[in-house]
Every structure is written in C-alpha cells, then in structure tokens.
Amino acid sequence: MRDVRDAGAMVAVVGRYYLSISWRVRRQLRRWHARAERIADPALRATAVEKLRDEQLHAHAAAVFAVTAPRRHVAPLVELAVAFAVMFDYLDAVSEEPADDQLANGLQLFRALQVALDPALAPEPYYAAHPVGAGEGDGGYLDDLAAACRAALARLPSADVVRPLAVAAAARCGGAQSRTHAVASRGPGQLREWAATLLPDDRGYAWWELTAGAAASLSVHALFAAAADPRVTTAEARRLDAAYFPSICALATLLDSLIDYDADRRTGAHSYVGYYDSAGTAAERLAAIAADGVAATAGLRHRRRHRVIAIGVAGFYLSAAGAHGAYARPAARQVVAALNPLVLRPILALAAAKRRVNSPR
C-alpha cells in the first residue's frame, strides 16, 4: 500500500513541478546566463557560460524541493535554489583549475557559499589563491549570486530558524569539494582525515562515503525549502539535515561517480566509487545507502514527497548513459531493486527525456 501512496505522491510532485516550478527555473537560468556574459575575464566568463549551458539539470533538480513549500513562497525559493546551484556549479569548475595550492584555492573560493547565506559575513577576495589573482576577475559575478541568495532567503518566513544549519551544510559542501579536488596534489589522506570530523563511525559509513555525502548540496536545498514553511522548528530542520546527510547526499555523489567511472579511469581523475574493492562491493553499498536514504525520510514533514525526491536522486543519475557501463551495471541493478519501482520507473523515463532535451548541441 505504501508503494501505491508513494506513486501518488510522485504524480503530485511531477505535476506541481512542471506546472508551477519548471518555468521559473528557466527564467532564472536566463537571468544568470545574461549576467555571466558580462564577466570581464574571458576564461572565467567561458567557464560560467559553459556550466550554465551544460549543467541546467542541476538547477532544475535543486528546485524540485519547492514541491514541499507553500505556494506563496515558491517564487523566492526558486530564485534561491537556482542562484545557489549556479554558484555551486561555477565554484566546482573554477576550483578544479590548476593553482599553486589547490586546497587553499578551493577553500577560499567556496567561502562564497557561506557568504551567500549569512548576511553577517562580508564578501571576500574569493580568487586570492586562484591564478586569476588580482586580474580582471569575475566582475562581481560571485558577489551578485551571493546577494541574490541572501535576498531570496530573507523573503522566506523561517529563514532565521534554518539559516545556521544551512550555513553549516554549505560549509560542509565547500570543505568536501575543496579536499576532493586537492586529492590530485595532496593525496587522499587529507580527505580521509577530514572525514573523521563529520560523523561518528557508528552509522556504518566508510570514510569516502561520508565525504561523498558532504560534497553534495542536497541538504542545503532541503533546508531552503524548510525555510519557506512558517511552521518549521529548529528540531525539524536538524532532522531534515540528518535525513539527507549522509545517506541521500552520499547516494547522489556516489551515483555521479558511478556513471563517470569509465571516463575517470581513462583520465586518472578522482573517483569515489574507485575506493571500493570491487564492482560487487560498490553495488551492495550503493543499494544499502539508497535504502537507508529512503528510510531516513520516514519522520519528516512531507515524508512522501521527500521519499519521492530521494528516489528521484537515483533516477536522475541512473538515467545517464554511464549507468549502462560494465562497472556501473551491477550497482544500477541493485539500486533499482532497492527502490519503489512504481516511483522509480516513471522518474527514469522523465529524467532520460529531460537529458535528451537539455543535452548540449
């Protein structure tokens, strides 16, 4: 019976998203594309425009959380979700560029995520450790994204309740992303040491699973949606963050790594699923994490919609061509088997169609 109710929730989520949210996302993406075109530095401008062109689905996925929000607060919530997602993708790309100190560069750049959510923090010299240094810079692009995030968050009724947790979750994301990018120059030891600061190990997660979870921004976006609800309490916001991190967030990063496995092996890039000793072990763990993520939604307000979102995370990544690779197939099969097929199969079909529509020409 729960499977059927979840399928009904999926229909409601998809219907509301396409009727009242998707068009708002497209409008915000056009806004930021126009702004990115005015970046002074040609290399930074090219990066920003490329990410906006190629990663549109990330902004759409971030805005899905608006299906849990009161309708009267959807507009500022979508503005916030899209601006933060655009900023996150841009920072991810810029922080991967070669620098004298890759870790310092990443940590300084990703400070923008916290500044974007906390009005008590002043803008910083984000490119201080980046090769662009004191050059033309981004012409205020990061500052404008951060200002848009702060303004939109301030319009949500429970912003003050949620903000401390959202800032902490954003800092967690920035720390994980920076240390992940620094593996190439500093090795995985520094990433493993940092993982020990995240959670006690009694959750049964390996260190790379914890850092994978920390690297995803899903908790932040879930908290944004909670800020749109005037009823939310601090305790509820904490439960929401705990539901998404580490399980659902880890699932997102690990599946992203899974579909990139073959490409990462060819280029020697860092691979989160590469830490597993075999494809079979990876498959077992990803299926267990998927089941853990769905179970974690049980105590939440809007639990069925959050369950649909958790299953949707799997559908989003498993709809990619990389999910059919030799290494990925066993994990893809086991993750699918661990989730409600009445919800997952339609999401897989919709996500695959959206990938085709949004694929760069």
Inter-residue contact 244 to 219 (CB < 8 Å): yes
The Cα diameter of the chain in Å comes to 61
Q: What is the pLDDT of residue 134?
A: 55
DSSP 121: S
Burial of 270 (0-12, 13-18, 19+ CB in 10 A): middle
Query: Residue 237 is encoded by which pair of tokens?
Result: 């916001």
Q: What is the pLDDT of residue 199?
A: 75
Considering only CA atoms, which of 272, 357, 346 is closest in space to residue 14? 346
CA torsion, ordered 150, 156, 161, 167, to nearest 10 deg: -30
C-alpha span between 347 and 85 (Å, rounded): 21
pTM confidence score: 0.95
- Dihedral pair phi/psi, residue 50, rounded to 5°: -65, -45
Count of other CB atoms within 10 angstroms of residue 58: 18
Q: What is the domain extent for residue 316?
A: 2-358
Inter-residue contact 222 to 241 (CB < 8 Å): yes
Q: What is the pLDDT of residue 217?
A: 98
Query: How does pLDDT run along the chain (361 residues), one tens digit per residue?
Result: 567 788 888 899 999 999 999 999 999 999 999 999 999 899 999 999 999 999 999 999 999 999 999 999 999 999 999 999 999 999 999 999 989 999 999 999 999 999 999 999 999 999 999 988 655 679 999 999 999 999 999 999 999 999 999 999 999 999 999 999 999 999 999 999 999 998 765 678 999 999 999 999 999 999 999 999 999 999 999 999 999 999 999 999 999 999 999 999 999 999 999 999 999 999 999 999 999 999 999 999 999 999 999 999 999 999 999 999 999 999 999 999 999 888 888 888 888 888 877 765 5
Q: What is the pLDDT of residue 88?
A: 99
Inter-residue contact 286 to 256 (CB < 8 Å): no
Cβ-proximal residues to 107 (8 Å cutoff; 6+ apart), any chain: 174, 175, 178
How many domains, in total, are found in the chain?
Answer: 1
Q: What is the pLDDT of residue 201?
A: 59
Q: What is the pLDDT of residue 5?
A: 84
**CATH label of the domain that carries residue 27:** 1.10.600
